[in-house]
Chains A and B, each alone.
Chain A
Amino acid sequence: MSKPQSITLHINDEDHDVRVQTQQTLLSVLRDQLYLTGTKLGCNQGVCGACTVLRDGVPTRACLTLAVDSTTFAITTIEGIVPADDLLPIQQAFIDAAAPQCGFCMSGMVLVAKSLLESNPHPTREEIREALSGNLCRCTGYTKIIEAIELMSTRSA
């Protein structure tokens, strides 16, 4: 084990000084050192999308991102987009469409949905499917998640 290094990460509009190993992922720092546990550890191989965060606004895998290599980016986790004691319109749309089931994939799904709708407020079903293609849900079969994003799209008309 090498000596930990001191770095500053820009997470949810705040600077966080942390000491990390080179091989430590951003996911590990978020969950184990900063206790931002809304970002989930699933496969740790970049396949499942449960660890999705926004890196300069773009959905990215926290498990495939080394913390030491992330110092120049603005990182946004699910905690960073949700207002205190309130819901985002996109979260309300997920609830209204009954999209969440066990909830494990939801942080990633909501961040991907938010990013998609910001760049494309009225996506086609195919565009929604493409945006969600990197996020696995083992409960719902995806239909209600797609419907939630379509619902949000109609509400922002």
Chain B
Amino acid sequence: MRYCCPTSIEEAVAILNTDEDARCLAGGATLVAMLNAELLSPSTLVSLRAIADLDGIRHTDSGITIGAMTRHAVVANDQRLNNGLTVVRLAAQEIGHPAIRAVGTIGGAIAHADPSADYPTALLAANAEVEVIGSSGARTVPAGDFFQDYFTTALAHGEMITSIHLANADPGTVSSYFKVARSDGDFAITSMAFCGNFDGSTCTAARVAVGGCASTPLNVTAVDKMLIGAELGSDQVTMAAQALADACDPIDDVRGSADYRRLLVKRLLPRVLQRAIDQGSN
């Protein structure tokens, strides 16, 4: 296994395009665990740690851009991620524990595309865009298209993630994240992320994402529409939660049964909405 440590994005892309079996090494929190378990044996590891352009959170006129190599701990503590973007900060706070958040990166986490991980669900609710680059140039992929299947993304051969862009939300937008796991820091049994608006306790705009309940994080447009005009605690929210549970396709695994996950989806929707309202009133 070869090791390269390029100092520019161009150099990294060139290596990825000359060696079909090369893999990017970001924080290592997932990739090195897979190497240790002998699940993966790439011909080359392309360490991204020396590429300064990939690191850090930048404010732009259109929103906030998080570099692919930005550590979870940095995102978890960035108070500029508020209102409609709080969901991303809350998700980062839920990943693993301090020693993992100190090394793990947002780019690495979403490249792995585990539907039970925290970022994919939060980024889908926030309608984030993933910026990727390959030999034929850069392109932007909406989060809803980026996650394609279990551990499968829209990245083509030779492409790498450079950043995640979060567009400015409409004024008054609130967001929240709620995860149920076996223990603090574990992957989700079921998680839910919400971005939207309220007038009092009536929802006026909604984008809900569910994690751990299908091959990708799930956003159901029909459910988002059902929530518009729904008052918290009303039958309309119960019906939307039922529709969301029906749209899920969870598996039975060591963390919980498929039935339990569907039950959690129904329970979590009112809670994630309440949490968003509470955040807005703080």
Binding site for B on A (CB under 8 A): 2, 5, 21-23, 25, 44-46, 49, 52, 55, 58-61, 63-66, 68-69, 72, 112, 130-131, 133-134
| Interface class of chain A by DSSP | mixed
CB pair A60–B25 under 8 Å, yes or no, is: no
CB pair A22–B36 under 8 Å, yes or no, is: no
CB-CB < 8 A to A112: which residues of B? 99
CB-CB < 8 A to A61: which residues of B? 29, 99-100, 103
Within the complex, what minimum Cβ distance (angstroms) separates B264 from chain A? 22
Contact-size category for B = 20 to 34
CB pair A69–B49 under 8 Å, yes or no, is: yes
CB-CB < 8 A to A66: which residues of B? 3, 25, 28, 32, 45
Within the complex, what minimum Cβ distance (angstroms) separates B4 from chain A? 10
Residue B37 at the chain A interface, CB threshold 8 Å:
yes
CB pair B47–A69 under 8 Å, yes or no, is: yes
CB pair B96–A134 under 8 Å, yes or no, is: yes
Among the listed A2, A44, A49, A63, which residue makes an inter-chain contact with B2, where contact means beta carbons less than 8 Å apart? A2
Residue B97 at the chain A interface, CB threshold 8 Å:
yes
Q: A21-B1, A46-B33 are in contact. Are A64 and B28 (CB under 8 A)?
A: yes
CB-CB < 8 A to B185: which residues of A? 133-134
Q: A22-B1, A68-B3, A133-B184 are in contact. Are A63 and B97 (CB under 8 A)?
A: no
For the complex, what is the distance from the CA of A114 to the CA of B239, rounded to whole Å? Answer: 51
Q: A2-B1, A69-B49, A133-B185 are in contact. Are A64 and B25 (CB under 8 A)?
A: no
CB pair B29–A46 under 8 Å, yes or no, is: yes
For the complex, what is the distance from the CA of A133 to the CA of B103, rounded to whole Å? Answer: 16
- The digit string for B98-123, where 1 denotes a CB below 8 A from any CB of A, is 11101100000000000000000000
CB pair B29–A64 under 8 Å, yes or no, is: yes
Of residues 1 to 23 in B, which have CB atoms within 8 Å of A's CB atoms? Answer: 1-3, 5
Among the listed B25, B96, B184, which residue makes an inter-chain contact with A69, where contact means beta carbons less than 8 Å apart? B25
Residue B138 at the chain A interface, CB threshold 8 Å:
no
Q: A21-B1, A134-B96, A134-B98 are in contact. Are A44 and B36 (CB under 8 A)?
A: yes
For the complex, what is the distance from the CA of A130 to the CA of B98, rounded to whole Å? Answer: 8
Residue B35 at the chain A interface, CB threshold 8 Å:
yes
Can you list 9 pairs linking A and B with CB atoms under 8 Å apart?
A22-B45, A23-B41, A44-B36, A46-B33, A46-B99, A61-B99, A64-B32, A133-B98, A134-B98
